[in-house]
Amino acid sequence: MPFSLNEFKKLRLDLMAKAKEPLSHPRVIVGMGTCGIAAGAQEIYAALSDEMSREGLRVQMKRVGCIGMCEKEVLVDVELPGTPRYTYGHMSPDRVPKIVEEHIKGGKPVDEWVVGVITDPENPYADLPFYAKQRRIVLSRCGFIDPESIDDYIAMGGYGALVSVLSTRNPEAVIEEIKKSGLRGRGGAGFPTGLKWEATRKAGGDKKYVVCNGDEGDPGAFMDRSVLEGDPHSVLEGMAIAAYAIGADEGYLYVRAEYPLAIKRLRLALKEAEDYGLLGDDVLGTGFNIHLKIKEGAGAFVCGEETALLASIEGERGMPRPRPPFPAQKGLWGCPTNINNVETYANVAAIIERGSDWFAGMGTEKSKGSKVFALAGKIANTGLAEVPMGITMREIIFDIGGGIKDNKKFKAVQIGGPSGGCLPEALLDTPIDYDSLTASGAIMGSGGLVVLDEKNCMVDIAKFFLKFTRSESCGKCTPCREGTMRMLEMLERISEGKGTLEDLEELERLARIVKDASLCGLGQTAPNPVLTTIRYFRDEYEAHIKEKRCPAGVCSALIAFYVNPEACKGCLLCQKACPTGAISGQRKEPHVIDRSKCIKCGACEEACPFDAIVRGKEGVA
């Protein structure tokens, strides 16, 4: 039943009006993104459904994507007719009966488990610090709509931008609007989106492509996954608008295979949109054609680089190609191709609907709008936060993120994944935008923020990322292939206490060469974690080199485990946990670790309930 433009406009208004009607029955909403499901949302959903049918209650059950509070998953919301939406966090099946009895049947929320209340969906959880400073554009519908229902998306205004573009604007006007908004690519480098579109439109040739980069490979980033899982149509709508603007009739969504749920929901969304006539031939009877297909990534980080991604869509080894020519001139199968990432496309419809002035009113001079950051690591509130550009890192980590987990001390924040860097406390008050981050030695990247505390070793972190880039280097160009390998060897020497100050100098020098001489973004940015950790945490490197000491107690060659006899209660738990039988001692007597048998696995430390296992320097009793 493909709709005509007018039919669809009417359907849209009907759905939007219906969504505004007051509830007739209680509504129960379960967060079913990957995070929610991993925390057990399916079991909770089943338990709730069972309980409702047992009690014979008429309740509307709804599945939604991630609302961003990963720390508090599983999240279940209860909304009764005429009341706000109450959110329960850390839900477990045994909490279900009480919530059904007291809240759904009795009308009284179970206050002790409520983690937030939504009175205004435009401004959710306004009184929670996690949300107060957020500005949600890309995530505005995540957690509110059923991602498997196109009607839900339309009811919240979805596909209005596409309708407006198709009925009232020519492609040039669309490009102008995007250019004026100041939107820059959200995938990493921050190239102005409008300029990219313009270049692709102006490139010669009849056949053009739009491509969505959903190969979110940066460890620590999961915003694209959440958007694809929670609001897939927003990406499809953005791509359709881009295709119209540049004159493309075909496109691909390249999504990594590690995101099966995102792929499943995207497939469903594609089918629904085609059924409604919003994608495919003769969209809404306007004569515009756009065919979108999904390509599953096959597990290669380098495919996040645009030219490598195109090679992968073509069925080749995903190896980057020199630029120029840029994909806008010569992309997929030699045709002009516009590539943007998931979050970039997800901004497009909002800009068209609310205008470039509105969008450009947010952010800093050169970085407009909002950015979604994924908060992870040693931060109290892990999750997704969408904030206006120009906010400081301190606000994100301490106001929104709630500071450091377990009251430890902040050491650094890693931003931008393997292409980014580690920033120290002193830089926390810099307003975040593309340019300030680049100046600091990191990059915006996709927006993964991994917070590190005093227990993390910066040499170890640099080594971690270099191991990653070394193994993901495609091997095409020498600086990246050999350079990352040699850099890793130097880092390994340092972390084993065998490094010299010359190694450190040599490491910095090589890092600069790899940065300058590599073919693609992978190699050009691979040294960033090393360079920033040396720049801001040189003392830690020097401790490893001069004193053969790992200040954070991480690098296993430089540490040893000891029992603090005063704290040890002689409970035998560490003895049971030790895989090599290195711990001896009678019950109720302080235990002793036999250093010749100890493999430094840390199992005893984890098992000890009294914090009696301490990490000290290797070679000192």
Partner 1 sequence: MTDGEERDGGKERVGGGPRGFEVNLDKVREILKAHKGERGGLIGILQETQAAYGYLPRAALMEISKTLKVPMSKIYGVVTFYAQFHLKPRGRHVIRVCLGTACHVRGGEKILEKVGEVLGIQPGDTTGDLEFTLERVACLGACGLSPAMMIDDRTYGRLTTKKVEKILKEYSKEAQGA
Among the listed ranges 67-75, 168-176, 543-551, 608-616, the one in contact with partner 1 (CB under 8 A) is 67-75
Site size toward partner 1 (CB under 8 A) is: 63
Q: Is 331 a binder of partner 1 (CB under 8 A)? A: no
At 375, phi and psi to the nearest 5? -95, 120
Among the listed ranges 175-183, 311-319, 539-547, 608-616, the one in contact with partner 1 (CB under 8 A) is 311-319
Task: Decide whether 139 or 376 has the Cβ nearer to partner 1.
Answer: 376
Q: How far apart are CA 14 and CA 21, in angstroms?
A: 11
Q: Which of residues 255-274 bind partner 1 (CB under 8 A)?
A: 257-261
Distances (CA, A) of 264 to 7, 255, 270: 28, 11, 10
Q: Is 611 a binder of partner 1 (CB under 8 A)? A: no
- Which residue in the set 47, 59, 64, 71 belongs to the binding site for partner 1 (CB under 8 A)? 71
Task: Decide whether 277 or 447 has the Cβ nearer to partner 1.
Answer: 447
- Which residue in the set 52, 211, 346, 376 belongs to the binding site for partner 1 (CB under 8 A)? 376
Q: Is 301 a binder of partner 1 (CB under 8 A)? A: yes
- Which residue in the set 336, 377, 445, 523 belongs to the binding site for partner 1 (CB under 8 A)? 377
CB of 599 to partner 1, least distance (A): 11
- Count CB atoms within 10 A of the CB of residue 145: 27
Task: Decide whether 283 or 457 has the Cβ nearer to partner 1.
Answer: 457
Q: Which of residues 430-469 bind partner 1 (CB under 8 A)?
A: 448, 450, 452, 456, 461, 464-465, 468
Q: Is 317 a binder of partner 1 (CB under 8 A)? A: yes
Task: Decide whether 554 or 568 has the Cβ nearer to partner 1.
Answer: 554
Q: How far apart are CA 504 and CA 324, in angstroms?
A: 35
C-beta of residue 87 within 8 angstroms of C-beta of residue 117: yes
- Which residue in the set 351, 362, 375, 522 belongs to the binding site for partner 1 (CB under 8 A)? 375
Among the listed ranges 203-211, 253-261, 558-566, 586-594, the one in contact with partner 1 (CB under 8 A) is 253-261
Q: Which of residues 504-533 bind partner 1 (CB under 8 A)?
A: none
SS (H, E, C) 193-223: HHHHHHHHHHCCCCCCEEEEEECCCCCCCCH
CB of 353 to partner 1, least distance (A): 28
Task: Decide whether 243 or 310 has the Cβ nearer to partner 1.
Answer: 310
CB of 85 to partner 1, least distance (A): 21
Site string for partner 1, 392-421 (x = CB under 8 A): ----------------------x--x----
Site string for partner 1, 551-590 (x = CB under 8 A): ----------------------------x-----------
Task: Decide whether 3 or 465 has the Cβ nearer to partner 1.
Answer: 465
DSSP 567-601: T----SHHHHH-TT--EE--TTS--EE-TTT----
Q: How far apart are CA 86 and CA 125, in angstroms?
A: 10
Task: Decide whether 154 or 554 has the Cβ nearer to partner 1.
Answer: 554
CB of 44 to partner 1, least distance (A): 14
Q: Is 333 a binder of partner 1 (CB under 8 A)? A: yes
CB of 182 to partner 1, least distance (A): 28
Among the listed ranges 291-299, 430-438, 505-513, 536-544, the one in contact with partner 1 (CB under 8 A) is 291-299
Q: How far apart are CA 96 and CA 50, in angstroms?
A: 10
Residue 340, beta-bridge partner list: 212
Q: How far apart are CA 135 and CA 137, in angstroms?
A: 6
- Which residue in the set 232, 369, 383, 479 belongs to the binding site for partner 1 (CB under 8 A)? 383
* Angle formed by the axes of helices 223-230 and 342-354, nearest 10°: 60
Q: Is 472 a binder of partner 1 (CB under 8 A)? A: yes
C-beta of residue 193 within 8 angstroms of C-beta of residue 312: no
Q: Is 307 a binder of partner 1 (CB under 8 A)? A: no
Distances (CA, A) of 522 to 122, 214, 300: 38, 16, 12
Q: How far apart are CA 414 and CA 423, in angstroms?
A: 6
Q: How far apart are CA 261 and CA 228, in angstroms?
A: 9
Dihedral Cα 134, 135, 138, 144, nearest 10 deg: 70
CB of 104 to partner 1, least distance (A): 27
- Count CB atoms within 10 A of the CB of residue 262: 29
Length of the chain: 621
Task: Decide whether 258 or 506 has the Cβ nearer to partner 1.
Answer: 258
Task: Decide whether 110 or 601 has the Cβ nearer to partner 1.
Answer: 601
CB-side neighbour CA atoms (13 Å) of 169: 19
Closest CA to 548 of 500, 477, 608, 610: 500
- Which residue in the set 384, 391, 462, 593 belongs to the binding site for partner 1 (CB under 8 A)? 384
Angle at 232 (CA atoms; ends 206, 61), nearest 5 degrees: 155
Q: Is 136 a binder of partner 1 (CB under 8 A)? A: no
Site string for partner 1, 203-242 (x = CB under 8 A): -------------xxxxxxx--x-----------------
Burial class (CB in 10 A: 0-12, 13-18, 19+), 317: middle
Q: Is 299 a binder of partner 1 (CB under 8 A)? A: yes
Site string for partner 1, 10-49 (x = CB under 8 A): ------------------------xx-xxx----------
CB-based contacts of 167: which residues, under 8 Å, 6+ apart?
5, 286
CB of 522 to partner 1, least distance (A): 13
Distances (CA, A) of 179 to 80, 208, 440, 563, 588: 44, 20, 27, 63, 72
**157: which DSSP letter?**
T
Closest CA to 505 of 482, 531, 528: 531
- Is-cis flag, bond preceding 325, omega within 30? yes
Q: How far apart are CA 48 and CA 54, in angstroms?
A: 10
Task: Decide whether 385 or 593 has the Cβ nearer to partner 1.
Answer: 385
What residues line the site for partner 1 (CB under 8 A)? 34-35, 37-39, 70-71, 73, 216-222, 225, 257-261, 295-301, 312-319, 333, 374-378, 382-384, 414, 417, 448, 450, 452, 456, 461, 464-465, 468, 471-472, 474, 579, 601-603, 606
